[in-house]
Amino acid sequence: MRLFLKHHLFRILTLSRFLSSSGAYIYNLVFVVYAASLPFKSLAVFVANMITILPFLFTFYVGIKADQTQNKARMIIWVGCLQSILFLLIAIVIRDSNFFTFAFICLMNICSDVLSDYTAGLRMPIIQYNISEDKLYEAYSFTQFVSYLSNLGGQALGVWILTTSQQNFSLVAIVNSGFFLLSSLILLKNRKELTHLSITVETQPINLVQQMKTIYADMDYVFRKKESKSLFKIVLVILIMNTLGGAIGGIYHFYLLDHDIYHLSYAQALFLIEGVSLGGAIIGSLTPNDYFGKLSFSNLLSLNALLFVLLAIANILDFPPLVGIICLAFVMYFMSKSMPKLDTLLLSNLSSDVLARSNNFLSMIFSLTLPFGMSLFSFLALQDIRICWWVFIAGSVIGLILSLETNRNE
């Protein structure tokens, strides 16, 4: 928070990101509502959910292109303007409720998500160049908080616009377009401050497999040097944590069907779970300099795994609901501290010309575990909620053992 108040460039980048992220979240929710209003709604909702995964398939290549971009400031501004135009096109065609219009809107959404991924990679060298290393963790923690805030605010604004405009999807697309345009205008006004190290353009053809091997070797060196751990063990633990973390919300959707939380209705209980999760994550993001924020990345993973075990045990043994809720809050609290710590490690120790591809390489790996975890544990919960929690405990224990193993100096 102090960095945001004192550092002018960080304020500019944060405000720009808040506007563009809010625009994206506004339309992500509304797009699902639009899909559900179509004559072929079951197929449309399925496709709407699936296209959110597709951009991750291109994320490593997009990271390479972001690293190779010489004038990153200019491209961030132009990409925001291009995204604004894409949503203006959506506003024009969205009035038609046919398959071809829906397919076109899906394509525009995929393009916008890929462009957002690209601009995120462009921002990293600017942050690395202008913010001192000892402030990077605070910077990424606050950026994560802004992401949570834009998620909550964007979705709420999207629902409000739909409600007050009587399902006017074109209006939502226009508002979304305005957010992207405003984000670019803010950066345009301060473009001279968006400085970064100059890069050398790679002239040889891109070999994705070789690039991945090189990036893996570079990041493995960083983790062995800074954390005394191999990257493989760290990634394995994070994959397990992401699989379990991505499944918690889905498990509670089933768990609350047969379990009350202080006589709340099903909708109220779901809102409480979402509120506790978001609250824990926000508090963790806003307190980067507390005791737990000073722990190593590996120790934070161990605490996360332990809390997953306690959360599952509390629910399977029917402890008072407050116990599970407290565990969930701390799970999100520690998770919100873990990922900025990972970003800080990379940003502090990798060359500026490989930042985006390195970050996107990890994001691609981690993000693919989220739908897997949701699908697996939703299927188990549908069969028997206790079996689901037992499998969750088993996964948590494995994650805990592996995380404790990584805490031994190699």
Cβ atoms 283, 331 nearer than 8 A: no
State the virtual CA torsion across 353, 357, 360, 361 in degrees, nearest 10: -140
2-44: pLDDT as tens digits: 665 567 777 888 888 888 888 777 777 677 778 878 888 777 8
Q: What is the pLDDT of residue 251?
A: 80
Q: What is the pLDDT of residue 199?
A: 65
244-274: pLDDT as tens digits: 887 787 787 777 777 777 777 776 777 787 7
Q: What is the pLDDT of residue 410?
A: 45
Whether 301 has a pLDDT exceeding 70, the answer reads yes
Q: What is the pLDDT of residue 83?
A: 92
Quick check: helix, strand or coil at residue 317?
A: coil
Q: Which of 14-28, 319-333, 334-348, 366-380 has the highest mean pLDDT?
A: 319-333
Whether 1 has a pLDDT exceeding 60, the answer reads no
Give the number of residues written for the chain. Answer: 410
153-175: pLDDT as tens digits: 777 787 788 878 888 888 888 98
Assign domain 208-406 to its CATH architecture: Up-down Bundle (1.20)
pTM of the full predicted structure? 0.71
Which whole number is the average pLDDT over 340-345?
74
**Average pLDDT value over all residues in the chain:** 80
Cβ atoms 176, 87 nearer than 8 A: yes
CATH 1.20.1250.20 residue ranges of the chain are: 2-193, 208-406
Tell me the C-alpha distance between 352 and 124, whole Å.
8
Q: What are phi and psi of 53, to 5 degrees?
A: -85, -30
CATH for the 2-193 domain, from 3.40.50.2300, 1.20.1250.20, 1.20.120.1200, 3.40.640.10? 1.20.1250.20
Cβ atoms 331, 315 nearer than 8 A: no
Q: Hey, how many other C-beta atoms are within 10 angstroms of the C-beta on 89?
A: 14
Quick check: helix, strand or coil at residue 114?
A: helix
Q: How confident is the model at residue 353 (pLDDT cuts 50, 70, 90)?
A: low
Q: How confident is the model at residue 185 (pLDDT cuts 50, 70, 90)?
A: very high
Q: What is the pLDDT of residue 182?
A: 92
Q: How confident is the model at residue 227 (pLDDT cuts 50, 70, 90)?
A: low
Cβ atoms 357, 211 nearer than 8 A: yes
Q: Is the pLDDT higher at 395 or at 221?
A: 395
State the virtual CA torsion across 8, 177, 40, 99 in degrees, nearest 10: -130
* Structure-block tokens of residue 311: 């959360």
